[in-house]
């Protein structure tokens, strides 16, 4: 426990009162394939409504994978001023919509905050790729003079943070982290770090997606996309029939605040972010244990939580057999065989790149807030050697004090976050 | 317990400098590395100038079979990271791999490979439904810049926190700032941190042409980057990488590591104003400087040298001058300031780390590198920008700043290592 002592002392954390200084989430904004807005998404999630379907954004017939989780019925003109539409990628429009919802939900008037007190940290995995494809197409087919001036920022990884900070006048410390699919947790941890410094309120999370032929081609080269054409069987994490995953678009943005300031303005808190850790796997061929279990142990340790207090684990659920087994080993290693309920609501939406882990964090917060575990789509028989208590079919109701969220980014990135109920 | 963070190793691949020594010699000699673009045929572009690295992967220890899996930006970073590790004597793989992490900054990731690959899979723009069967097997690594940090983590044997920081042109400052915070809070004891960008590709030239941000001084590329000069007309695109070994100070002392500098303060702010524009009064950058000084517990008069963002656009150099006056008051007229972009161009996300390297070397050597090509000062830029010639002077504390698309403004303070 040397690590814990060092971390606790270094950060000056108040370890005697669990959660006393942990920041709280007071607002949630969601853009998910199975629901635009927190309410519609959460109802669909509890009802087990699956949004994995054939791609409609472009003609995917010629590609070996053809299923995705698309955000449907999104009309950008309902969410954005018209001048922003030509300068934004689809994923940035979704992010701007989610940011507005999160602030409204938190009841925060950002214009009334002290000048440099609020910032934004988002995660991206690949930037605004659809916008980028249009400009690359213009460059190669028509020539350099046909490239849009907006290409200088509309596709790059920092675009969501920049556009959100402008839209809401957030002049405090901001940031952008890129760690593949782990980014949705890493960004939130970065925002927490800002609250320990001089920020009072942060908007954070990830809304992501690269659903265009160019992005799709790049995703295909990961070798991890499911080539099944059956929406019900394309993405079956932990299953004996696992065959890769389906990707989607969207994610969640959260308003994170110090508990004192949330209390002072009479806000409602969904829960507190009380533990987090990130690790990286050993280099390929180097041997040694993958890092996920160590990340879980460190995050629980920081939250001052023992494994038996954890009511649910939101799994990364990669859907690639070796990765599924590695994750199941890490979970069983900490909690025991079938030792904790495990769920993967992303089986309904697909993996949302850097947005998925933020959406899981939103689900974990609602789980502790409402006392309900959202279900995983039925994955059939678990693969040999995997023995998890998967929440399938219907939600499980009952008090949940602590939830653990796991995320892994391709290449070796691991992140674990602990949320717990918060009384302000 | 007050954990402090020091730089114990520096690795640099820059235009005009294949390693730290060449980089520093070149800067202090005031030599410019801006030339006509040679990496591809830039004839159709408005600005055809860039600061390119004289870089051959094979002679830098990256054989063909390794190099071909990496974008040029990754190659630059791997070479810089190896230099930094060797320079610091940091044992790797580390004995406690979970206590060592990596952060790499980049503004535009593998943009060069993505540009080239797009021409292949789209048949030079002939098809929108691009052909996946002709894609390189490494395309996913180019899609996600997180692959940069993964690659460096494998080099180091790091198993602690690993990430890419991508905040446009402040990425190089913010990546190192992030690493400093991780060591301070106890999440890691050592970090390999820095930044890389290799953006000299048609798509990048095209978009900067479109907003007229880059200099069209094509007939005189060696003198095209002219920060703070009245005749400046845009920045010159560059490329490169700088990577550092950062360690918790006591651990560095215990192993008798050479310490270049302590990173004593870091802060960032956003202008929340415009994706590419700057508020003229420099208020957010000034606020970042004030917050960084505050964190470092330093007074503004302690600053001996300001390593400026100094990109050479009309707008930036006035914005920055206003920020210095606002944050440093009267001291802004006395302290030497300079922009190394006058010599090595603007390598987007990488430049912040290259500027940290220059700042640490200024402390180490007691020399302020000059601003090249500054012959006719802009009357609105009326501070001491150390024109043309390097200056020998005692440098105990350096302020280095950055400003980026998206509204990011960052400031970092480096201080001469002190005992105790």
Tell me, yes or no, if A84 comes closer than 8 A to chain B by beta carbon: no
**Are residues A413 and B146, on separate chains, in Cβ contact within 8 Å?**
yes
Model confidence pLDDT, tens digit, residues B74-100: 999 999 999 999 999 999 999 999 999
Asked if residue B322 has a cis previous peptide bond (ω within 30° of 0), the answer is no
User: B176 lies in a domain?
Assistant: yes
User: B134 lies in a domain?
Assistant: no
Q: What is the mean pLDDT of residues B18-27?
A: 98
Q: What is the mean pLDDT of residues B151-168?
A: 98
CB A89 within 8 A of CB A72: no
Q: What is the mean pLDDT of chain B?
A: 97
User: B137 lies in a domain?
Assistant: no
Which residue is catalytic, options B169, B178, B319, B381? Answer: B169
User: B344 lies in a domain?
Assistant: yes
C-alpha pair distances (Å), B318 with each of A227, B278, B312: 55, 10, 10
Model confidence pLDDT, tens digit, residues A247-281: 999 999 999 999 999 999 999 999 999 999 999 99
% of chain A with per-residue pLDDT over 70: 95
pLDDT for the residue numbered A3: 40
The count of structural domains within chain B is 1
Tell me, yes or no, if A126 comes closer than 8 A to chain B by beta carbon: yes
pLDDT for the residue numbered A198: 83
Residue length, chain A?
Answer: 424
* Closest CB from B124, B210, B406 relative to A147: B210
**Are residues A3 and B98, on separate chains, in Cβ contact within 8 Å?**
yes
pLDDT for the residue numbered A13: 40
Model confidence pLDDT, tens digit, residues A359-374: 999 999 999 999 999 9
Q: What is the mean pLDDT of residues B147-173?
A: 98
Tell me, yes or no, if B154 comes closer than 8 A to chain A by beta carbon: yes
User: B349 lies in a domain?
Assistant: yes
**Cα A351 to Cα B300: distance, rounded to the nearest angstrom:** 48
Interface probe for B, chosen from A9, A125, A131, A156 (most Cβ of B below 10 Å), is A156
Angle at A243 between CA A325 and CA A411, to 5 degrees: 60
pLDDT for the residue numbered A424: 81
Distance from CA of A165 to the nearest CA of B (A): 5
Distance from CA of A279 to the nearest CA of B (A): 5
User: B115 lies in a domain?
Assistant: no
pLDDT for the residue numbered A16: 36
How confident is residue A20, by pLDDT bands cut at 50, 70 and 90?
low
pLDDT for the residue numbered A5: 38
Model confidence pLDDT, tens digit, residues A283-324: 999 989 999 999 999 999 999 999 999 999 999 999 999 999
Q: What is the mean pLDDT of residues A195-221?
A: 96
Which residue of chain A has the CA closest to B115? A136
Six token digits for residue B344: 């090595």
User: B420 lies in a domain?
Assistant: no
How confident is residue A7, by pLDDT bands cut at 50, 70 and 90?
very low
Interface probe for A, chosen from B146, B176, B323 (most Cβ of A below 10 Å), is B146
Which residue of chain A has the CA closest to B165? A177
Q: What is the mean pLDDT of chain A?
A: 94
Q: Is B380 helix (H, G, I), strand (E, B) or coil?
A: coil
**Are residues B167 and A175, on separate chains, in Cβ contact within 8 Å?**
yes
How confident is residue A19, by pLDDT bands cut at 50, 70 and 90?
very low
Measured distance between the N- and C-terminal CA atoms of chain A, rounded to whole angstroms: 30
Residues 6+ apart with CB under 8 A from A61: none
Domain that holds residue B190: 5-110+145-415
Measured distance between the N- and C-terminal CA atoms of chain B, rounded to whole angstroms: 13
Residue B243 has pLDDT above 70, yes or no: yes
CB A226 within 8 A of CB A65: yes
Q: What is the mean pLDDT of residues A225-237?
A: 98
Model confidence pLDDT, tens digit, residues A144-181: 999 999 999 999 999 999 999 999 999 999 999 999 99
Which residue is catalytic, options B92, B142, B178, B346? Answer: B346
Angle at B73 between CA B72 and CA B74, to 5 degrees: 90
Q: For chain A, list the domains and their CATH numbers.
A: 2-16+274-420 (3.40.47.10), 24-264 (3.40.47.10)
Query: What element of type H or E holds B75?
Result: helix B72-88
Asked if residue A143 has a cis previous peptide bond (ω within 30° of 0), the answer is no
How confident is residue B418, by pLDDT bands cut at 50, 70 and 90?
confident
Specify whether B309 is catalytic: yes
pLDDT for the residue numbered B2: 86
- With 0-12 / 13-18 / 19 or more C-beta atoms within 10 angstroms meaning exposed / middle / buried, residue A86 is exposed
**Are residues A178 and B44, on separate chains, in Cβ contact within 8 Å?**
no
Residue A1 has pLDDT above 60, yes or no: no
How confident is residue B1, by pLDDT bands cut at 50, 70 and 90?
low
Six token digits for residue A328: 């199941």
Residues 6+ apart with CB under 8 A from B419: none
Tell me, yes or no, if A238 comes closer than 8 A to chain B by beta carbon: no
pLDDT for the residue numbered B325: 98
Interface probe for A, chosen from B70, B96, B127, B132 (most Cβ of A below 10 Å), is B132
CB A248 within 8 A of CB A351: yes
**Which chain B residues touch A290 with a CB distance below 8 Å?**
none
pLDDT for the residue numbered A21: 83
Query: What element of type H or E holds A214?
Result: helix A213-220
% of chain A with per-residue pLDDT over 90: 92
Q: What sections of B310-402 are H helices per DSSP?
A: 314-328, 341-344, 351-365
**Cα B135 to Cα B133: distance, rounded to the nearest angstrom:** 6
How confident is residue A423, by pLDDT bands cut at 50, 70 and 90?
confident
User: B133 lies in a domain?
Assistant: no
* Closest CB from A9, A171, A286 relative to B186: A9
Q: What is the value of ipTM here, to two decimals?
A: 0.97
Specify whether B346 is catalytic: yes
CB B378 within 8 A of CB B229: yes
Residue A2 has pLDDT above 90, yes or no: no
**Are residues B178 and A283, on separate chains, in Cβ contact within 8 Å?**
no
- With 0-12 / 13-18 / 19 or more C-beta atoms within 10 angstroms meaning exposed / middle / buried, residue B128 is middle
Residue whose tokens read 């572009």: B45
pLDDT for the residue numbered B408: 97
Residue whose tokens read 């939101």: A314
- CB burial string B368-402: b at 16+ within 10 A, e below: bbbbbbbeeebeebebbbbbeebbeeebbbbbbbb
**Cα A253 to Cα A358: distance, rounded to the nearest angstrom:** 7
How confident is residue B419, by pLDDT bands cut at 50, 70 and 90?
low
Strands A201-208 and A372-373: unpaired
Q: What is the CATH number of the domain that holds B367?
A: 3.40.47.10
């Amino acid at each position: 426990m040397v690590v814990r002592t060092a971390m606790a002392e270094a950060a000056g954390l108040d370890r005697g009162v669990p959660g006393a200084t942990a920041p709280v989430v007071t607002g949630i904004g969601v853009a998910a394939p199975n629901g635009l807005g927190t309410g519609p998404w959460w109802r669909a999630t509890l009802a087990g409504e699956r949004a994995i379907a054939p791609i409609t954004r472009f003609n995917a017939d010629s590609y070996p994978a053809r299923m995705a989780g698309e955000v449907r019925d999104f009309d950008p003109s309902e969410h954005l001023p018209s001048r922003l539409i030509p300068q934004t990628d689809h994923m940035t429009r979704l992010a701007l919509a989610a940011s507005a919802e999160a602030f409204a939900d938190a009841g925060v008037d950002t214009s009334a905050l002290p000048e440099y007190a609020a910032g934004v940290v988002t995660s991206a995995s690949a930037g605004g790729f659809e916008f980028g494809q249009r400009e690359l197409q213009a460059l190669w087919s028509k020539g350099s003079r046909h490239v849009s001036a907006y290409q200088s920022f509309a596709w790059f990884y920092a675009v969501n943070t920049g556009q959100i900070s402008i839209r809401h006048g957030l002049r405090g410390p901001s940031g952008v982290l890129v760690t593949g699919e782990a980014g949705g947790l890493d960004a939130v941890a970065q925002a927490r770090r800002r609250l320990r410094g001089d920020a009072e309120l942060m908007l954070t999370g990830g809304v992501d997606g690269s659903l265009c032929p160019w992005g799709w081609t790049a995703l295909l080269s990961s070798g991890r996309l499911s080539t099944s054409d059956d929406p019900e069987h394309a993405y079956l994490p932990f299953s004996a029939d696992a065959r890769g995953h389906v990707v989607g678009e969207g994610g969640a943005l959260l308003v994170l605040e110090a508990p004192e300031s949330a209390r002072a303005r009479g806000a409602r808190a969904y829960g507190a972010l009380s533990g987090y850790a990130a690790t990286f796997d050993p280099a390929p061929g180097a041997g040694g244990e993958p890092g996920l279990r160590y990340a879980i142990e460190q995050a629980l340790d920081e939250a001052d939580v023992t494994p038996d207090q954890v009511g649910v684990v939101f799994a990364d659920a990669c859907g690639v057999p070796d990765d599924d087994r590695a994750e199941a080993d890490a979970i069983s290693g900490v909690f025991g065989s079938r030792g904790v309920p495990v769920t993967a609501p992303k089986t309904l939406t697909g993996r949302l790149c850097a947005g998925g882990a933020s959406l899981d964090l939103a689900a974990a917060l609602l789980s502790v807030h409402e006392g309900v575990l959202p279900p995983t789509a039925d994955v059939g028989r678990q693969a040999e050697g995997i023995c998890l208590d998967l929440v399938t079919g219907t939600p499980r109701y009952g008090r949940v004090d602590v939830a653990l969220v796991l995320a892994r980014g391709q290449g070796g990135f691991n992140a674990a976050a602990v949320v717990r109920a918060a009384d302000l | 317990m007050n954990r402090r963070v020091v730089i114990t190793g520096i690795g640099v691949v820059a235009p005009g400098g294949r390693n730290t020594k060449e980089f520093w010699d070149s800067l202090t000699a005031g030599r410019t590395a801006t030339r006509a673009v040679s990496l591809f045929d830039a004839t159709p572009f408005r600005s055809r100038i860039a600061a390119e690295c004289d870089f051959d992967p094979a002679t830098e220890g990256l054989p063909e079979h390794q190099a071909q899996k990496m974008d040029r930006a990754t190659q630059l970073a791997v070479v810089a990271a190896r230099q930094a590790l060797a320079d610091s004597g940091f044992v790797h793989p580390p004995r406690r791999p979970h206590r060592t992490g990596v952060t790499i900054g980049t503004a535009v990731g593998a943009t060069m490979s993505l540009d080239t690959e797009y021409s292949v899979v789209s048949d030079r723009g002939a098809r929108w439904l691009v052909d996946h069967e002709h894609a390189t097997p490494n395309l996913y690594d180019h899609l996600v810049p997180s692959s940069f940090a993964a690659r460096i983590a494998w080099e180091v044997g790091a198993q602690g926190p690993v990430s890419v920081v991508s905040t446009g042109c402040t990425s190089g400052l913010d990546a190192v700032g992030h690493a400093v915070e991780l060591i301070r809070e106890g999440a890691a004891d050592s970090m390999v941190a820095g930044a890389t960008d290799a953006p000299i590709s048609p798509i990048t030239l095209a978009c900067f042409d479109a907003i007229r941000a880059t200099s069209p001084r094509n007939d005189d590329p060696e003198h095209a980057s002219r920060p703070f000069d009245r005749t400046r007309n845009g920045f010159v695109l560059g490329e490169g990488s700088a990577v550092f070994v950062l360690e918790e100070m006591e651990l560095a002392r215990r192993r008798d590591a050479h310490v270049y500098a302590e990173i004593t303060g870091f802060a960032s702010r956003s202008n929340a104003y415009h994706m590419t524009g700057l508020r003229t009064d420099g208020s957010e950058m000034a606020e970042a400087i004030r917050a960084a000084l505050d964190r470092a517990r330093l007074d503004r008069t302690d600053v001996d040298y300001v390593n400026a963002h100094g990109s050479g656009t009309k707008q930036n150099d006035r914005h920055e001058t206003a920020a210095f006056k606002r944050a440093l008051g009267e001291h802004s007229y006395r302290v030497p300031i300079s922009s190394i972009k006058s010599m090595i161009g603007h390598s987007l996300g990488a430049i912040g780390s290259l500027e940290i390297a220059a700042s640490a070397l200024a402390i180490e050597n007691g020399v302020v590198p000059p601003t090249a090509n500054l012959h006719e000062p802009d009357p609105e830029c009326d501070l001491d920008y150390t024109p043309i010639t390097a200056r020998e002077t005692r440098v105990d504390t350096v302020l280095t700043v950055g400003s980026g698309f998206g509204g990011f403004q960052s400031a970092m303070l480096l201080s001469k290592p002190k005992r105790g």
